[in-house]
Chains A and B, each alone.
Chain A
């Protein structure tokens, strides 16, 4: 039963990937829609970023003093100026670790 569910979930997922690339002709999308699509990264990724920072493992909002908020702010500043993915991720993790291991322990 679980195997069947995984297979169906896999087929569904593949369809979400394939439909717009292989089945829908680009010409069907008007110029206006194409202009809006330029915002896709900005319109999708915050829905992954925000809950991962502001909501904890138990589905509750975190405190404003949570180290994740500080880590995310450091990552934003470092990322903005360095334009470097590794520096962004690492600075965020490091500042988060410094708070939880040095200040909160």
Chain B
């Protein structure tokens, strides 16, 4: 049995490598918001109120491009709807928590944190304080995201654009799924999702990010049926 502190540190340790992409991305996000002409306080408040990487940029870009608030808000909701799937997966491990704790821990569920904690949970189902791992990944992400976006807002885009550091984002997610390439069913699901995302990229409200996983999960269900 690992202690709460050990699990928390393990979560921090597991998420740390992803900061290589999260921190430059946060700086870029903060800098873009100010470049688009928004009030710096407003740009920063988004990191606390929304706390959702790409959706924050999309929101500001839509508004500055003349889209209505309704379109901007809807897009954020659609982009972030993928958390519903993360929650559905994580709920198995968080069942025993009190309602208040569930409400609190939900705030720090993010892509990379979900991915790393889910991997850890699958291997350590019997641990009693599993949620401390999720707190470790989530709080690390939160703190780094606050510092990174704030630096971008205050210092401007001090990360040279020529470096193309936005490219680190797909790389961080490649690192998350790459081991599943060993399994043919997962490869099929990934390809279906990826190709769908390119086909539906122009769909309104950035809904490709919701449509593609739905199609991919449908294919996963078919594959499961075939396997039997």
Residues in A with CB closer than 8 Å to B77 are 9, 12-13, 16
Residues in A with CB closer than 8 Å to B92 are 26, 34
Q: Is the CB of A41 within 8 A of B76?
A: no
Residues in A with CB closer than 8 Å to B99 are 22
Q: Is the CB of A51 within 8 A of B201?
A: yes
Known: A17-B107, A20-B88. A43 touches B213 (CB 8 A): yes
Q: Is the CB of A12 within 8 A of B175?
A: no
Residues in B with CB closer than 8 Å to A32 are 221, 224
Known: A32-B221, A42-B189, A46-B191. A51 touches B208 (CB 8 A): yes
Residues of B within 8 A of A (CB): 17-18, 20-21, 38, 42, 45-46, 49-52, 54-55, 59, 63, 69, 72-73, 76-77, 80-92, 94-95, 99, 102-103, 105-107, 109, 111, 115, 118, 162-181, 185-186, 189-198, 201-202, 208-209, 212-213, 216-217, 220-221, 224
Q: Is the CB of A40 within 8 A of B178?
A: no
Q: Is the CB of A21 within 8 A of B90?
A: yes
Chain B residue at smallest Cβ distance from A50? B194
Identify 6 residue pairs between A and B in the complex whose beta-carbon atoms are under 8 Å apart, listed by A's number: A5-B73, A16-B83, A16-B84, A20-B88, A79-B179, A89-B168
Interface assignment of A64: CB less than 8 Å from any CB of chain B: no
Chain A residue at smallest Cβ distance from B174? A75
Known: A13-B51, A37-B85, A51-B201. A44 touches B193 (CB 8 A): yes
Residues in A with CB closer than 8 Å to B166 are 52
CB-contact partner of A79 in B59, B91, B174, under 8 A: B174
Q: Is the CB of B189 within 8 A of A51?
A: no
Bound together, the chains give a CA A35 to CA B217 distance in angstroms of: 10
Bound together, the chains give a CA A39 to CA B190 distance in angstroms of: 9
Chain A residue at smallest Cβ distance from B43? A6
Q: Is the CB of A43 within 8 A of B220?
A: yes
Known: A21-B87, A40-B217, A89-B175. A52 touches B72 (CB 8 A): no
Residues in B with CB closer than 8 Å to A86 are 17, 20
Known: A2-B42, A21-B109. A46 touches B201 (CB 8 A): no
Bound together, the chains give a CA A50 to CA B196 distance in angstroms of: 9
Q: List 20 additional A-B contacts (Cβ < 8 Å) besides A1-B69, A93-B171.
A: A4-B69, A8-B73, A13-B52, A16-B80, A18-B103, A36-B217, A40-B217, A41-B118, A42-B180, A43-B213, A43-B216, A44-B85, A44-B216, A46-B191, A51-B208, A85-B17, A85-B18, A90-B20, A96-B167, A97-B164
Bound together, the chains give a CA A26 to CA B88 distance in angstroms of: 8
CB-contact partner of B50 in A6, A37, A83, A100, under 8 A: A6
Bound together, the chains give a CA A100 to CA B163 distance in angstroms of: 9
Bound together, the chains give a CA A20 to CA B109 distance in angstroms of: 12
